[in-house]
Structure 1
Amino acid sequence: MAFKRKERDEVRVELTSMVDVVFLLLIFFMISTTFVDSTGIDINLPQAGSQKIDKQPEEVNVYLEKSGLIHLEDRLVSMEDLRSHLAGYGDRAAETTFILLADKQAQHGKVVQLMDAAQSAGFAKLAIATEPEIKKR
Protein backbone atom coordinates (compact mmCIF):
# COMPACT_ATOMS: atom_id res chain seq x y z
CA MET A 1 0.00 0.00 0.00
CA ALA A 2 1.37 3.39 -0.94
CA PHE A 3 0.90 6.24 1.50
CA LYS A 4 0.56 9.69 0.22
CA ARG A 5 3.16 12.05 1.67
CA LYS A 6 2.04 15.43 2.93
CA GLU A 7 3.73 18.30 1.21
CA ARG A 8 5.47 20.46 3.71
CA ASP A 9 5.39 24.22 3.25
CA GLU A 10 8.85 25.70 2.78
CA VAL A 11 9.75 27.97 5.70
CA ARG A 12 10.67 31.49 4.59
CA VAL A 13 11.95 34.35 6.62
CA GLU A 14 10.68 37.69 5.37
CA LEU A 15 13.58 40.14 5.35
CA THR A 16 11.77 43.03 3.73
CA SER A 17 10.77 44.73 6.98
CA MET A 18 14.24 44.25 8.48
CA VAL A 19 15.87 45.78 5.39
CA ASP A 20 13.49 48.74 5.63
CA VAL A 21 14.40 49.34 9.27
CA VAL A 22 18.14 49.14 8.58
CA PHE A 23 17.76 51.51 5.64
CA LEU A 24 15.86 54.01 7.79
CA LEU A 25 18.52 53.81 10.51
CA LEU A 26 21.22 54.42 7.91
CA ILE A 27 19.39 57.50 6.63
CA PHE A 28 18.85 58.76 10.20
CA PHE A 29 22.54 58.50 11.10
CA MET A 30 23.66 60.06 7.83
CA ILE A 31 21.42 63.07 8.38
CA SER A 32 22.14 63.49 12.09
CA THR A 33 25.92 63.25 11.75
CA THR A 34 27.70 66.56 11.55
CA PHE A 35 30.74 66.88 9.39
CA VAL A 36 33.28 69.22 10.92
CA ASP A 37 36.14 70.64 8.92
CA SER A 38 38.81 70.92 11.55
CA THR A 39 42.18 69.55 12.39
CA GLY A 40 43.11 67.58 15.48
CA ILE A 41 44.53 70.66 17.19
CA ASP A 42 42.76 71.61 20.41
CA ILE A 43 42.08 75.34 20.09
CA ASN A 44 39.51 77.09 22.27
CA LEU A 45 38.57 80.17 20.23
CA PRO A 46 37.24 83.32 21.86
CA GLN A 47 33.64 84.36 21.23
CA ALA A 48 32.57 87.38 19.20
CA GLY A 49 29.22 88.74 18.12
CA SER A 50 30.40 90.10 14.78
CA GLN A 51 29.49 88.90 11.33
CA LYS A 52 30.81 85.68 9.80
CA ILE A 53 33.31 86.10 6.96
CA ASP A 54 32.97 83.98 3.83
CA LYS A 55 35.79 81.54 3.17
CA GLN A 56 38.36 83.01 0.79
CA PRO A 57 39.60 81.02 -2.21
CA GLU A 58 43.20 81.10 -1.00
CA GLU A 59 44.01 81.25 2.67
CA VAL A 60 46.66 80.27 5.17
CA ASN A 61 45.45 78.85 8.49
CA VAL A 62 47.81 79.31 11.43
CA TYR A 63 46.85 77.84 14.80
CA LEU A 64 48.26 79.03 18.13
CA GLU A 65 47.74 76.75 21.13
CA LYS A 66 47.53 78.14 24.65
CA SER A 67 50.90 76.52 25.33
CA GLY A 68 52.44 78.66 22.57
CA LEU A 69 52.86 75.92 19.95
CA ILE A 70 52.29 77.07 16.37
CA HIS A 71 50.66 74.91 13.70
CA LEU A 72 50.69 75.75 10.01
CA GLU A 73 47.59 74.00 8.64
CA ASP A 74 48.08 70.59 10.31
CA ARG A 75 51.83 70.50 11.05
CA LEU A 76 53.78 71.84 13.97
CA VAL A 77 56.24 74.60 13.02
CA SER A 78 58.59 77.02 14.73
CA MET A 79 58.35 80.79 14.30
CA GLU A 80 61.33 80.75 11.92
CA ASP A 81 59.76 78.00 9.79
CA LEU A 82 56.52 79.94 9.66
CA ARG A 83 58.28 83.14 8.59
CA SER A 84 60.13 81.33 5.78
CA HIS A 85 56.91 79.63 4.62
CA LEU A 86 55.02 82.94 4.58
CA ALA A 87 57.87 84.63 2.70
CA GLY A 88 57.47 81.98 -0.01
CA TYR A 89 54.08 83.43 -0.98
CA GLY A 90 55.76 86.48 -2.53
CA ASP A 91 53.32 88.55 -4.61
CA ARG A 92 50.42 86.16 -3.90
CA ALA A 93 50.50 87.22 -0.24
CA ALA A 94 48.52 90.39 -0.99
CA GLU A 95 45.53 88.35 -2.25
CA THR A 96 45.88 85.49 0.26
CA THR A 97 43.99 85.68 3.55
CA PHE A 98 46.03 84.98 6.69
CA ILE A 99 43.67 83.35 9.23
CA LEU A 100 44.89 83.27 12.82
CA LEU A 101 43.16 80.72 15.03
CA ALA A 102 44.54 81.54 18.46
CA ASP A 103 43.36 79.95 21.69
CA LYS A 104 41.67 82.50 23.93
CA GLN A 105 44.20 81.72 26.66
CA ALA A 106 47.22 82.15 24.36
CA GLN A 107 49.71 84.86 25.25
CA HIS A 108 48.94 88.18 23.64
CA GLY A 109 52.61 88.63 22.72
CA LYS A 110 52.59 85.44 20.61
CA VAL A 111 49.46 86.60 18.78
CA VAL A 112 51.14 89.92 17.98
CA GLN A 113 54.29 88.10 16.77
CA LEU A 114 52.20 85.99 14.37
CA MET A 115 50.35 89.05 13.08
CA ASP A 116 53.69 90.83 12.60
CA ALA A 117 55.10 87.82 10.70
CA ALA A 118 52.11 87.93 8.35
CA GLN A 119 52.46 91.67 7.78
CA SER A 120 56.21 91.36 7.17
CA ALA A 121 55.55 88.68 4.54
CA GLY A 122 53.17 91.03 2.70
CA PHE A 123 49.79 89.66 3.76
CA ALA A 124 47.21 92.45 3.50
CA LYS A 125 44.18 90.39 4.56
CA LEU A 126 44.24 89.22 8.17
CA ALA A 127 41.37 87.44 9.90
CA ILE A 128 41.24 86.33 13.51
CA ALA A 129 38.93 83.35 13.96
CA THR A 130 36.34 83.38 16.75
CA GLU A 131 33.40 81.28 17.85
CA PRO A 132 29.92 82.79 17.44
CA GLU A 133 28.65 84.44 20.62
CA ILE A 134 25.99 82.44 22.44
CA LYS A 135 23.00 84.66 23.11
CA LYS A 136 21.61 84.36 26.64
CA ARG A 137 17.85 84.40 27.01
Structure 2
Amino acid sequence: MRFYTRKKKAPSVIIVSLIDILAILLIFFIVTTTFQKNQPTMKINLPDSKTAEAGPAEKNAPVLLEVKNADAITLDGKPVALASLADTLKQARQQHPERSIAMKADREAPFGVVVQVLDALKEAGISNIPAFTQPPNTP
Protein backbone atom coordinates (compact mmCIF):
# COMPACT_ATOMS: atom_id res chain seq x y z
CA MET A 1 0.00 0.00 0.00
CA ARG A 2 1.25 3.34 -0.92
CA PHE A 3 0.37 6.39 1.15
CA TYR A 4 0.39 9.87 -0.21
CA THR A 5 2.65 12.20 1.79
CA ARG A 6 2.44 15.90 1.49
CA LYS A 7 5.52 17.93 0.93
CA LYS A 8 6.39 19.81 4.06
CA LYS A 9 6.53 23.49 3.50
CA ALA A 10 9.60 25.25 4.82
CA PRO A 11 8.70 27.59 7.70
CA SER A 12 8.69 31.26 6.67
CA VAL A 13 7.94 34.55 8.29
CA ILE A 14 5.27 36.62 6.62
CA ILE A 15 7.01 39.98 6.47
CA VAL A 16 3.95 41.94 5.29
CA SER A 17 2.14 41.25 8.57
CA LEU A 18 5.17 42.34 10.56
CA ILE A 19 5.39 45.59 8.62
CA ASP A 20 1.69 46.26 9.30
CA ILE A 21 2.17 45.68 13.02
CA LEU A 22 5.26 47.90 13.05
CA ALA A 23 3.35 50.69 11.30
CA ILE A 24 0.49 50.45 13.81
CA LEU A 25 2.94 50.58 16.74
CA LEU A 26 4.70 53.57 15.22
CA ILE A 27 1.40 55.44 14.81
CA PHE A 28 0.43 54.54 18.39
CA PHE A 29 3.68 55.92 19.81
CA ILE A 30 3.47 59.11 17.76
CA VAL A 31 -0.12 59.78 18.83
CA THR A 32 0.47 59.07 22.53
CA THR A 33 3.62 61.17 22.78
CA THR A 34 3.04 64.39 24.68
CA PHE A 35 4.59 67.54 23.35
CA GLN A 36 5.52 70.04 26.03
CA LYS A 37 5.87 73.75 25.66
CA ASN A 38 9.39 74.98 26.35
CA GLN A 39 9.74 76.63 29.72
CA PRO A 40 10.92 80.23 29.68
CA THR A 41 14.49 81.15 30.47
CA MET A 42 13.69 83.09 33.64
CA LYS A 43 14.38 80.86 36.67
CA ILE A 44 11.56 80.96 39.22
CA ASN A 45 11.54 79.19 42.57
CA LEU A 46 7.92 78.15 43.05
CA PRO A 47 6.44 77.98 46.56
CA ASP A 48 5.62 74.56 48.03
CA SER A 49 2.08 73.23 48.26
CA LYS A 50 0.74 69.95 49.62
CA THR A 51 -1.98 69.86 46.96
CA ALA A 52 0.25 70.78 44.00
CA GLU A 53 -0.33 69.02 40.70
CA ALA A 54 2.17 68.20 37.99
CA GLY A 55 0.81 70.81 35.57
CA PRO A 56 -2.26 72.23 33.90
CA ALA A 57 -4.60 69.65 32.40
CA GLU A 58 -6.14 71.89 29.78
CA LYS A 59 -6.12 71.45 26.04
CA ASN A 60 -4.99 75.03 25.56
CA ALA A 61 -2.00 75.90 27.69
CA PRO A 62 -2.63 79.02 29.77
CA VAL A 63 -0.96 82.34 29.14
CA LEU A 64 1.78 82.44 31.77
CA LEU A 65 2.27 85.55 33.85
CA GLU A 66 5.64 85.16 35.60
CA VAL A 67 6.74 87.42 38.44
CA LYS A 68 10.33 87.40 39.71
CA ASN A 69 10.47 91.01 40.99
CA ALA A 70 9.31 94.47 39.89
CA ASP A 71 11.80 94.53 37.01
CA ALA A 72 11.31 90.92 35.87
CA ILE A 73 7.68 90.36 34.89
CA THR A 74 6.92 88.38 31.75
CA LEU A 75 3.69 87.50 29.96
CA ASP A 76 4.08 84.39 27.79
CA GLY A 77 7.86 84.87 27.79
CA LYS A 78 7.79 88.54 26.77
CA PRO A 79 8.97 91.15 29.30
CA VAL A 80 6.26 93.53 30.53
CA ALA A 81 6.59 96.69 32.62
CA LEU A 82 4.53 96.74 35.80
CA ALA A 83 2.98 100.08 34.82
CA SER A 84 1.61 98.75 31.52
CA LEU A 85 0.68 95.27 32.79
CA ALA A 86 -3.09 95.88 32.93
CA ASP A 87 -3.23 97.07 29.31
CA THR A 88 -1.04 94.18 28.16
CA LEU A 89 -3.29 91.70 29.98
CA LYS A 90 -6.39 93.18 28.31
CA GLN A 91 -4.73 92.82 24.90
CA ALA A 92 -3.68 89.23 25.64
CA ARG A 93 -7.23 88.41 26.75
CA GLN A 94 -8.64 89.86 23.51
CA GLN A 95 -6.09 88.06 21.32
CA HIS A 96 -6.54 84.67 23.02
CA PRO A 97 -10.01 84.49 24.60
CA GLU A 98 -9.90 80.69 24.71
CA ARG A 99 -6.71 80.59 26.81
CA SER A 100 -6.81 81.21 30.53
CA ILE A 101 -4.18 83.20 32.39
CA ALA A 102 -2.08 81.56 35.11
CA MET A 103 0.53 83.12 37.38
CA LYS A 104 3.96 81.85 38.41
CA ALA A 105 5.38 84.00 41.19
CA ASP A 106 8.81 83.41 42.67
CA ARG A 107 8.79 82.68 46.40
CA GLU A 108 11.36 85.48 46.82
CA ALA A 109 9.21 88.02 44.93
CA PRO A 110 8.35 91.04 47.08
CA PHE A 111 4.80 90.86 48.38
CA GLY A 112 4.14 94.45 47.26
CA VAL A 113 4.98 93.55 43.66
CA VAL A 114 2.66 90.52 43.78
CA VAL A 115 -0.15 92.72 45.13
CA GLN A 116 0.44 95.24 42.31
CA VAL A 117 0.29 92.39 39.78
CA LEU A 118 -2.97 91.16 41.34
CA ASP A 119 -4.34 94.72 41.12
CA ALA A 120 -3.38 94.86 37.43
CA LEU A 121 -5.17 91.54 36.89
CA LYS A 122 -8.29 92.87 38.61
CA GLU A 123 -8.11 96.07 36.55
CA ALA A 124 -7.93 93.97 33.37
CA GLY A 125 -11.12 92.17 34.47
CA ILE A 126 -9.43 88.87 35.27
CA SER A 127 -10.24 87.05 38.49
CA ASN A 128 -9.62 83.60 39.97
CA ILE A 129 -6.07 83.26 38.70
CA PRO A 130 -4.49 79.83 39.20
CA ALA A 131 -1.00 80.03 40.67
CA PHE A 132 1.68 77.45 40.00
CA THR A 133 3.22 75.69 43.00
CA GLN A 134 5.40 72.64 43.44
CA PRO A 135 5.22 69.69 45.83
CA PRO A 136 7.34 70.18 48.98
CA ASN A 137 9.79 67.34 48.20
CA THR A 138 10.88 68.64 44.79
CA PRO A 139 14.06 70.70 44.59
Q: Which residue in the other structure is 2:11 paired with?
A: none
Cα displacement (A) at 1:113: 1.3
Identity of aligned residues (%): 24
Which residue is equivalent to 1:15?
A: none
Aligned residues: 100
Report the Cα offset of residue 79 of structure 1: 1.4
1:104 maps to 2:129: no
Q: CA deviation at 1:55?
A: 3.5
**Aligned runs of 1:79-98 on 2, under 5 Å?**
79-88=82-91, 89-90=93-94, 96-98=99-101
4+ residue runs of structure 1 moved beyond 4 angstroms? none
Asked if residue 54 in structure 1 is aligned to residue 48 in structure 2, the reply is: no
Answer whether contact 1:48 1:130 (CA < 8 A) is retained. Answer: yes
1:115 to 118, 124, 129: 118
TM-score calculated relative to the size of structure 2: 0.59
Question: Which AA in structure 2 matches 1:97?
Answer: S
Aligned-residue CA RMSD (Å): 2.8
Query: Is there any run of 5+ residues in structure 1 with no aligned partner, and where?
Result: 1-34
How far apart are 1:67 and its partner, in Å? 6.2
TM-score norm. by structure 1 comes to 0.60
Q: Which structure has more RCO (C-alpha within 8 Å, separation ≥ 6)?
A: 2
